[in-house]
Chains A and B, each alone.
Chain A
């Protein structure tokens, strides 16, 4: 099976712009979680989607939003970008049927805000 894919891999934006990142989970996985990783704050949970519904949300401002499509692909959007949004954004998919209690992570999207 193909792993979790994320596009684009790298992105450069300027303050005030918005950005949309995409994640395709492993085939058959219906849960997609998003994380932000920065040197200062480490890996932090953003939100989780399952069957097109947001089920869980971390402590991030409303500028961070997401959605999931019927094919389980997910997007996250960050509006009004700030310098502090520069980070590696990771998505992960999981399925109870995978046999192990684990999340499968994609390679991430490296976002740089100038």
Chain B
């Protein structure tokens, strides 16, 4: 499994854009990049998933360069409620991975007023 490295913590202010970069130098051809968000005392929640280039949904964008050795989660105009831990996961699709997610340490994002 590809190991991921992401910052331990980041601070931001309401209304700003938050970009979290995840390094995954050993990503395999069949691996996808997935991000989950976790609030205190809750289970993680899927945010976005991508394989290459750029993916955008209603809450975030995911930028993946051509070499796929890193990826950046972008949260536009954050609010206080975006304070959470964000996990970058790299691996095969759930079915191929036996419905097992491998979490790293995550990035603790604190949004200040």
> Measuring CB to CB, which residues of chain A are less than 8 angstroms from any residue of chain B?
4, 31, 33, 35, 42-45, 48, 50, 55-56, 58, 88, 90, 92, 94, 96, 100-108, 110
Query: Contact flags (1/0) for B9-38 with A, using CB distance below 8 Å?
Result: 000000000000000000000001010000
Asked if residues A43 and B99 are in contact (CB atoms below 8 Å), the reply is no
Closest A residue to B93 using CB positions: A101
Partner of A92, one of B43, B104, B105, B106: B43
**In the assembled complex, how far is the CB of residue A7 from the closest CB belonging to chain B, in whole angstroms?**
14
Asked if residues A45 and B41 are in contact (CB atoms below 8 Å), the reply is no
CA distance A1 to B102 in the complex (A): 27
Verify if B113 is at the interface (C-beta below 8 Å from A). no
Asked if residues A107 and B43 are in contact (CB atoms below 8 Å), the reply is yes
16 additional A-B residue pairs with CB within 8 Å, beyond A43-B103, A105-B45? A33-B101, A42-B104, A43-B44, A43-B87, A44-B103, A48-B98, A58-B100, A88-B41, A90-B44, A94-B94, A94-B99, A100-B49, A102-B46, A103-B94, A103-B101, A104-B46
**In the assembled complex, how far is the CB of residue A29 from the closest CB belonging to chain B, in whole angstroms?**
10
Verify if B42 is at the interface (C-beta below 8 Å from A). yes
**In the assembled complex, how far is the CB of residue B41 from the closest CB belonging to chain A, in whole angstroms?**
7
Tally of B interface residues using CB under 8 Å: 22
Interface SS of B by simple majority: loop
**Residues B38-70 near A (CB distance < 8 A):** 41-46, 49
Query: Which of chain B's residues have a CB closer than 8 A to the CB of A100?
Result: 46, 49
Q: A42-B104, A101-B32, A101-B93 are in contact. Are A4 and B43 (CB under 8 A)?
A: yes
Query: Which of chain B's residues have a CB closer than 8 A to the CB of A107?
Result: 41-43
**In the assembled complex, how far is the CB of residue A74 from the closest CB belonging to chain B, in whole angstroms?**
12
Q: A42-B106, A101-B34 are in contact. Are A55 and B99 (CB under 8 A)?
A: yes
**In the assembled complex, how far is the CB of residue A90 from the closest CB belonging to chain B, in whole angstroms?**
5
CA distance A104 to B99 in the complex (A): 11
Greatest chain A CB density within 10 A among B87, B93, B103, B104 is at: B103
Asked if residues A55 and B45 are in contact (CB atoms below 8 Å), the reply is no
